[in-house]
Every structure is written in C-alpha cells, then in structure tokens.
Structure 1
C-alpha cells in the first residue's frame, strides 16, 4: 500500500484499522558485525573517551522481519568485559543468547569475539539492544526493529523514525561513582540539542523533516540510565499504537511517558501549519525530600519541508496547535518535572489491541509473590557495624524483599551450572513470597533518617533467585517503598512478557485492589513502571526454560542490587526443555584459558 495524505476529519479513524496487505516472503538470516571500541567525542567543550559500537552513538540498528534469524558477531576492541542483551527478545528455548554476564554466558574478554544466534519468531514491533555491563549501556545501545510479516494493524506510515532518548556523560562511564554522579545532558538520537552550548556555540540538535499531511511512525526508546522522560512535540499529537513490541488500542495524547528500558510506537500526523516545532524530552523525578538531580532537558526540531504544494497548504491549514514562523520554533508547554501523575495516567490509559498474537490473560494463579522495592544498608566487607548518621561503615544497597542481589563468586555462568546440575546452584538464596516485615511501605517519613527508618534499613546481600515449574502462572505485586527514597522503579523481566493488570498509589490491599484488575485487555510489556509510592500487579506464564534476570532498569538501582533471578525449570518434553549450549558457545574451560592470558580492568566485578 502506498503512503498517502488523509483529510483531517478522516485521519484519526483511518490511522488505526487499515492493515498492510499480507506478505508472502520467506524468512531470512540477518547478519551483523558489532565492533565495540572506544572513540573520542566532544560535547560541552570537553573531549570524552566513549565506548561505542561501530563508532556510532546510538549504535547500528537491527532491522528484521518476524520469523527471521539473527546472527551478530561481537568483536570486543574495548578494554572492558562485554556482553550484549537483546532487550525484549524472548529468546524462546535459547536463554544462552540472552547476554547477561556470568548468568547466561561468560563476558566477552577484550580482543576476543563472540557470536549471538537467535530468531525472532512470534514477535513484532520496536525493541532495542544494549550492553549488559554496568553503566556502559549508556553508549552501547541501538534499535532492534521486528517488522510484521503480515502487516501491522494501522495505516502504513510515510516514514518510520527512531527516537532514542539517552544521556551524555562527560566522565568515563567505567569509573562513575553510582552514588554521587549524574549525567551532564540529555540527548535525542545522540544529539544534545540547542539548550546546551559550548563557549557560546549551540550544541547540534536532532532535526526531523516532515511533509504536510504525511503520517510518521516514531519508534521511541528510553536508553537513559537514570530517568523516566516526558516527550512532547509542539502543535502535534501522538497516537500510541504499541508499547514494548505489543500492540495497544490506539490512544491519542499530546505527551508520552517512557521509563528506562521501555519502547513506545506512536503515529504523528504532520497536520500543523508549516513551520518549525520543538520536540522536547524532559526527565522527571520524585519531589523533595528525595535528592534532587539536575533537570537536564533536551530538544530537537520537527520542521516542515518547503517542497509542498498549495494543495498541501490547504490540507493542513488550521491544523492542531497553531503555527510557527521565522527562525524561532514553537515550543510545547511542558509539565512540572515533579508531576508523576502524568506518568500514572498515561500508563493507566493503555490497553491491548485485540490481535492474533495477544493471548488471553491466564485465569488460574499457581504462585503469588509480593515484592517490596527500596533501599537499605549492609556492613562493608561483612564486618559488624552500627548504623549512624556519620558512619562510613555502611554501604547503601537496593533491595527486593529486603535482600540485595550479589552475584556469587563462581567460575562458571549460572545457566551452564543449571544445565549440567552442578553444585554452584546451591549458592542461590530463595526470593521469599513476602517481605520479612510488614509496615507502612509508603510512609514519607522513612525517606529521611529517623528512628523508624533506622530499624527498617539493615538488610543483607545474597544471590537471590526463585524457581518456577514449567508452565506455572505467576502473579507478582511490586510495591514501591519510601525507605530512604521514594522513586518509581521500571522492572524488566528477561525472556517473558507480563500482563499489567492494575496499578495504584499507596499500599497494595489484596481485598480492595483485586477488583481493579483488567483481565480483559491489559497491556502486555517486558518492562513495567512501578509508580512512586505505589504498586503494580502483573501476571506472566513461566514457559521459557532458563535463568532470567528480573531487575530495575534504573542503572544505579541495578548496580546496587535490585535484582533477582527467575529460574524456569524444564517442561516434560524436548520441545519444552532448554537445549544444550550451541556448538560454538564459549564454555568455561575455554573461557578460563582465555582469561589467564588477558589482563583487564573490571567494572563492578564484571
């Protein structure tokens, strides 16, 4: 189907329900080579050594069709250990390719190579890839697009545009102090934008050229380490049609809320008066008494092409949002960066579109988990210590049910140990069904040091894991807490999608809040944002055998230990069991031989 302009009155209705004609094209093998290296980039009057793939920021895009096979050769020319995680790719019966160091594989040593092989059957939409090495995913990342083989349930756009929201750090990310440092700017597609300047010269911003009346699909990805973002384009509206590579009942809004790890597909009609319009990405954050990080807004420009006819002028005359003339683009009115309700309402308005790939919500529940998310403290090096306002004996950690994840000291990745049933698996500690203490989880007085907070703060570190039998239906309620902070938490589950049944503020109440569950058409996602001082209920089917990371996608929470391993046992048949490692997989004996010959710096022990 050719792209075409639509009269304004028909645009909204036509966007959603017209499908591209079915294609009868065979599957393909899509092959890439990723060379990870360090290059010098200059922003904000400072040259920074940056770890990137193929010299690009963002890195190269992977563009495939549902059912294709993907082969990526990673050549590590950086000085750091490296793995690549294919965020949102389910890796069905292929946990070996998930890309988590010492969980699913040995890290790729400097001056060594590794090849990832997997397919993308049963998925379509916008995903992304990134390094699964602490902090380095800020610059080692790129888009991963899976095109539908038989057409998407909305009109084919004139163009598809990736919008990757990220951050710029002037420090070497390998040595950033995760308790004290923040990024220096926000970015759109790697560009800082004209809000930033260097000795009076404006930084370059991202520019999107559009034609009047055309429809554009924005594939929005939050690749930032620290913040959820609000995205707006002056004079234009978004029609959200997918999130985390799952179709959404079309939802029209003037603002997108997107947390780290998430993707949103949104259609934009170029129906404003010809001119120039700012696209602004604003990071939000919890209000005081939480610590306040710098508000680092970035902006690009949507500009109308001058090559339009008078007919196009008539088509867009009087379009939504007014017009912009001259050299100064129109700017959207942005919300307060502390307004978390915009995020809450945006997510509450999302429901799944009826589609053959969307399975019904499972009715039965085999296991229930109630998981609190917060901060705590442990004694450094395991010695005894006393909590005090001025002591340096305590280490601040992030927790799930009051336990902070600590990778066990092993020489074999846990997935390999799990497959061969070695004794390394005995080092894991079970994630409990409920937290050890019940208290007012959202009591704001717990943010600041005081008698109540001091009693609840002490915690422990362990290799936290939970086993599920194959096919089990698992319901998880994530509860944010005010313990030492009150931030939201984007929780990402590898290898599975989750039905997002409900969200709420305050403390979850099973009797009251189960009535709020959407069991008909809840959104389906791989990363769910647990709202600030609130909760979210999800349900998933543990039907992909392997060891899967469940973690917060705020990088500092991840490095501080807000992680658990979800282990899915084999099913009763070969087709429901984890296969043996691929023939070219780097098993422990070969890796240890490599490691003996390699001397390298490590990042947080990885």
Structure 2
C-alpha cells in the first residue's frame, strides 16, 4: 500500500495517501488566532479550523488537492507543501516573495496541490517568517512552545542582530509532557495492544534543532523518510532534523506497562533548550501500572556521532516497484558553502551577534535579500529588476573552510543579493554543500522545493573534488527533500531539473533562513507541452 501523509500542527499539516483512482479533493482551511494554554500560560496562536494539532487529510497517490485558505488571523501567511513536487505548477508552493505574495489578513487563496509520485509522510507549514500495512498508524509531530508571542521573538532577534530566545518547551503532538509544569493532565498517550505493530509517521516541526527521539525499552524499524521508502533498518533511537519526516514500525512487544517516549535536542552551537518532552506508550489490558513510566536514556546533547550514524543508515529501497534512478552524467556541478556570518555593527544600533556584530548567514557568501514582489511572478511576466540570474556556482574565494582555529575576520562579512541560478530543462545537477566554520560551525538541514534528490555522498572536513566522488553511493542513495550537512563537513546531492518553475533552496534552521541562508533555482521550460510550466491561478495573492 502506497501512502503519503501531510499533518497540520502549529503551522503543520500531514496528508495520508494510498493507491487508487486519482481524484480532485477540495478542503477549506480557516486560519485564525486562537487562545491556547500550555505551561501555565495562555496565549494566542495561529490555528487551522480552530484545531491544534489540525486536520489530517487522506488522499490517493496522484490526486489533486484544492485548499481554500482563508486568512482570518492577524498576520500575513503563506503555506509551503513540504516535499510535494508540484509538477509544472509552482504557483502553490508557498514561500513568500519567491513563488507568491503573502495571503494578507482578510483575504483568501485557493491553493491547487498537484501530487505525483510521492509516497510515505510529507507535511506542510507556514513559509512566511516563523508563523509550520500495520495494525494502525499514528502521526507524531515534534514541535515547541513559547510563552511569549512568536512574532515578538522573531522581531526581537532581527532587531538586535543576535540569536533568538529559545522556546520554553518542546512538544509531542501539541503537548509538553509530564516533565514540564502544569502539563501532566494533557500529556499525549498512545494506547497499544501487545503483539501488534504500529506505523509511526514522525515530523520534526521544531524551528531550530535536530531532535533525538526514543521510547523506553523499545526498538524501531525505519521504513521511510521524506515521502520515499527506505531499506528497513533497526535502531533504538531516531535523529531527525527540522523539516524531515521519518516513518518507522513500532512493535508492542514489551511487558504490558506504561513507557515514556521522549525527545530532546542535539545541539553543538548557540543557545538551546535542553529540556525533554515526553508522551506515554500505554499498553491496554489489566496490570499494575507504575506510578511513573520508565524514561528512556537519550543520546547526549552534543552526541554528533549518534546523529551522524543514524543519517548514514538511510538507503533507498530499490525494489522493482520503487527503482533507484541516480543521474550519472552531470551537466551542472555546483559547490555551495554554507556559512554563519556577521555584519559590522552600525552606529547606535543594538548588536548581539558574535564579536559585537550582527548575525547573518549565506550561501557562497551571498546573504539572500527578499524582493518586493515574488520572483516567480517576475519571471513569468518578464518583469526586470526584481532579481539577478548570476548566483555563483562556487564561493568567491577558497580557504580552509573547516579549520578549527578562528578563521580570519576578513572572510566573515558576506554580500547582500537577490540572485538565482537558471537551469536548462532536464539538465542534471550536482550540488556539494560545504559547511564552514566561519563565526561558528554547525550542521545545516538543507531543503529544496519542487524536488527530491539523491544524497550520493557525505564526509567530514573539506570536500576533495578528485578523491571524494570516487566513494559516492550511486547504487542505493537515499531519496530525500531535506538532508543534514554535517558539522565541519560536506554533503553531495544529485537531481534532474525536470520540473519547470522557480524553486527555493534554504536551510531549515529557521534562524539561518531569517539571516539569509537561501537561494532559488529557475528551471526553464522544456520543448513539449507537458514540459512547460502551467499558468497561474486567477486569485494569486497581491503584494
């Protein structure tokens, strides 16, 4: 059975897809500000149809979904359908000022979502500022909660140039769990029957952290990630970056009792909330339950090896029904450095970044500056002066990107720009993402809109263009839409540019995106009618 799950919580949504005749489904999503209580505090958050978490949709592979998005909230909103390729139809992809102008308060937009070959678990989330065959299937969404208003958090760290305030709690399916104050009565519980197997569909909707996840005394069989099946492998923990999905089988094979599932961050740089969110796996039946469930031991906060080892186990299924088709002849080779940067502090301005500056982030030393109108609109209507088309294929200068001692400050300051890279239809692209230790070395979960890609290689240190490609996995590399570039390391991906349109690529650590670690590709039309971008809908939001 083929399945795709897309779920809405805070700004998220999951959708479940099975095989069957393709159809058109129509839904109404009303976005509004709703009062919710967590951690002894009550505040207004953005909800869909008044729910938190929100509705789950069940559709068939290849269906088209039309979602009437009605914005009755107080902020501009866009919605990105994370991992949905949207063939030839980028108009509903969602990133603000890349493919559309925001949906303003009091307005609406009918988003047509075109599903193609996606299987497994996908999700959607806001993309404007910070506003995101088993016996049974259960969605698990990892999120977080601020007692303060999220827009105040965003505006505060943008104003002072520093790091954002950390959240007050992490969440499992909208609840902090027993280890936080005032949370025990509402802790999420998963009731299981001994001997049955459960497919867990996990989404990491946390803003700025890879998360470790574990269930006491239980192991998992991982079977899918990012809308694609994987070769099954077994672990007793999961490491999942922001934006990624993991599907795994949970066998209820332990002594009937209560067991905690728990999650906390993997963090090596910056400030992080090191608290633990919990939910409960509760076996059905008659038995003496403990006063406190067994709590699993999670990997250490800075356990890079555990995080990296989990990612390295992912492989494409490679079956007859799900073949692997890694592009072998590359037309475009790009080398993209990913850096945390600083700008010099302006006179009389607050500057809470490193060395008295203001934090920025960049790809190939360019900090992305959003335009005033959407790049897709400008491209389709041939409006000049909105963006440049000369995004560099490599950084402007070479240095030891991952040296441990402080990299000279001459390299710290990036350039501002609104640049894209233009790709010919059906050309094969290879991108090597190189992490750098400018200002601070950290991992980067990179997400590409409109495509899934094969992750053909990764390693530590600086990428060696002569040696490292010899060790690429061209047999069964994982097929992802979000992948972690390791700390002080590199990751290589490949894809065929066969989806015309404008497609954003960015780091899924939200603070890095806010600082400018993003760029966009324009994929040109092909020759046939089925290789050309479709026209826009009549109700595209206005800027």
**How far apart, CA to CA, are the structure 2 residues paired with 1:24 and 1:459?**
48
Query: After superposition, where does 1:193-232 map in structure 2 within 5 Å?
Result: 193-198=177-182, 202=184, 204-232=186-214
Cα deviation code 1:437-472 (max 9, x no counterpart)? 2112112333xxxxx431111111101211110011
What is the match of residue 50 of structure 1?
A: 45
**How far apart, CA to CA, are the structure 2 residues paired with 1:512 and 1:24?**
43
Q: Check the 8 A contact 1:464/1:563 in 2, yes or no.
A: no
Going from structure 1 to structure 2, the CA distance change for 1:24 and 1:496 (only over 3 Å counts) comes to closer
What is the match of residue 137 of structure 2?
A: 160
Cα deviation code 1:347-383 (max 9, x no counterpart)? 11111112334441011000111111111123578x9
Give 2:378's match in structure 1, choosing from 412, 417, 420: 417
Q: Check the 8 A contact 1:548/1:566 in 2, yes or no.
A: yes
TM-score, with length taken from structure 2? 0.91
Cα deviation code 1:164-205 (max 9, x no counterpart)? 00111111111213423111100000000011014xx74632
What is the match of residue 168 of structure 2?
A: 184
Cα deviation code 1:245-285 (max 9, x no counterpart)? 11100111111110000000001110111111110111110
**How far apart, CA to CA, are the structure 2 residues paired with 1:225 and 1:307?**
40
What is the match of residue 585 of structure 1?
A: 539
**How far apart, CA to CA, are the structure 2 residues paired with 1:180 and 1:136?**
15
Give 2:526's match in structure 1, choosing from 571, 575, 583: 571
**How far apart, CA to CA, are the structure 2 residues paired with 1:297 and 1:402?**
36
What is the match of residue 343 of structure 2?
A: 378
Larger Rg: 1
**How far apart, CA to CA, are the structure 1 residues paired with 2:190 and 2:39?**
23
**How far apart, CA to CA, are the structure 2 residues paired with 1:204 and 1:31?**
32
**How far apart, CA to CA, are the structure 2 residues paired with 1:490 and 1:388?**
24
Going from structure 1 to structure 2, the CA distance change for 1:293 and 1:118 (only over 3 Å counts) comes to closer
What is the match of residue 397 of structure 2?
A: 437
Give 1:509's match in structure 2, choosing from 438, 441, 464: 464
**How far apart, CA to CA, are the structure 2 residues paired with 1:560 and 1:106?**
20
Greater than 4 Å deviation, 4+ residue runs: 387-392
What is the match of residue 172 of structure 1?
A: 149
- Offset of 1:24 from its aligned partner? 7.9
- Offset of 1:391 from its aligned partner? 8.1
**How far apart, CA to CA, are the structure 2 residues paired with 1:367 and 1:522?**
19
- Offset of 1:34 from its aligned partner? 0.9
**Secondary structure of the residue that 1:502 maps to in structure 2?**
strand
Cα deviation code 1:385-428 (max 9, x no counterpart)? 9x999986x432111111100012x3x42212211222145x32
Q: Check the 8 A contact 2:95/2:127 in 1, yes or no.
A: yes
Q: Unaligned stretches of 5+ in structure 1?
A: 2-22, 138-155, 309-323, 447-451, 593-606
**How far apart, CA to CA, are the structure 2 residues paired with 1:389 and 1:298?**
29
- Offset of 1:66 from its aligned partner? 0.3
* Larger helix share, 1 or 2: 1
What is the match of residue 307 of structure 2?
A: 343
What is the match of residue 559 of structure 1?
A: 514
Q: Check the 8 A contact 1:470/1:570 in 2, yes or no.
A: yes
Cα deviation code 1:489-535 (max 9, x no counterpart)? 00000000110011111111122211221000000000011011111
What root-mean-square deviation, in Å, do the aligned CA atoms of Structure 1 and Structure 2 show? 2.3
What is the match of residue 144 of structure 1?
A: none
Cα deviation code 1:14-72 (max 9, x no counterpart)? xxxxxxxxx98422222221111111112222211111211222222222110222011
Going from structure 1 to structure 2, the CA distance change for 1:239 and 1:103 (only over 3 Å counts) comes to same
**How far apart, CA to CA, are the structure 1 residues paired with 2:486 and 2:40?**
37
Give 2:250's match in structure 1, choosing from 252, 263, 268: 268
What is the match of residue 23 of structure 2?
A: 28
Give 1:293's match in structure 2, choosing from 254, 268, 272: 272
**Number of aligned positions between the proteins:** 518
- Offset of 1:551 from its aligned partner? 0.1
What is the match of residue 311 of structure 1?
A: none
Q: Unaligned stretches of 5+ in structure 2?
A: 2-17, 158-162
**How far apart, CA to CA, are the structure 1 residues paired with 2:252 and 2:450?**
37
What is the match of residue 328 of structure 1?
A: 292
TM-score, with length taken from structure 1? 0.82
